[in-house]
Amino acid sequence: MTRKLTLFAAVIAFGPVLCLAQDAQPQLTPRVTPATQQPTPTSAQASPITVAAGTKIPLTLKQGITTKNAKEGDPVYAQTAFPVTENDRIVIPAGTFVQGMIRRVQRPGRVKGRAQLQMSFTSMIFPNGYTVMLPGTVEGTPGSDTMNVKGKEGTIEGQSSKGRDAATIAQTAAAGAGIGAIAGSSSGSTGKGAAAGAAGGGVIGLATVLLTRGPEIQLNSGDSIEMVLERSLTLDDGKLRKQAD
């Protein structure tokens, strides 16, 4: 009994000391190593592609145009006929839609003045819908021997009517001379009849020329037009790749 009391007294005496010792020990918090954060994979920044000013792009018209009824502001529809490449890569595929507008129309005169047609190209629509604004104009009309393009604005000019007018006057004069000769033969004055008939025919031919306009410009669906870029064209490489895929 005495031994138990002694142990009990020892516990009572040293209990606070043991508690203090336990409190003095540092609390160890387990160290958690954060997981290494992997960088989110991102695609490389797409560099813009530049198609240089002066680049010629062949087009195929999708509708007919004539100076006889075309008006300023009328739309023009075409498609690229051949791909355009940059750095061994197609950046403008064949079949890309091109839209434009009629800027000026001049009908041919009755005595002088050729037909003139001016158009510009304003936008390009890629097969996937990617659309860019264009600074394009007409550079040429390949395959046509009746039209030519002049000036920086790309004005299409029709052919002159001088040769046709001269032929009209000559034909009517010759026809009149023949009729006059036949009429003069009955009266014994063939030469005078021919001269009078020629003069009369010439007058008729001249009147025909004065009342008739020169040749109109006629562009048909499927005709070739060569477009030239007036300024450089910047294309979004990412959108180009999207349409390529």
Run means of pLDDT, 10 residues per run, the chain, 245 residues: 51 50 53 53 66 96 95 96 93 96 88 86 95 93 84 84 51 52 54 52 50 82 95 92 64
Write the pLDDT tens digit of every residue in 210-237. 556 688 999 999 999 999 999 999 999 9
Q: Domains of the chain by range and CATH?
A: 49-160+216-244 (2.40.128.260), 162-211 (no CATH)
What pLDDT is stored for residue 151 in this prediction?
80
204 by Cβ neighbours in 10 Å (0-12 / 13-18 / 19+) ranks as middle
The three-class DSSP label of residue 207 is helix
What pLDDT is stored for residue 16 in this prediction?
54
Write the pLDDT tens digit of every residue in 159-200. 765 555 455 445 654 554 455 555 555 555 555 555 554 455
Which residues on neighbouring strands pair with residue 77, listed in sequence order?
Answer: 99
What pLDDT is stored for residue 40 in this prediction?
46
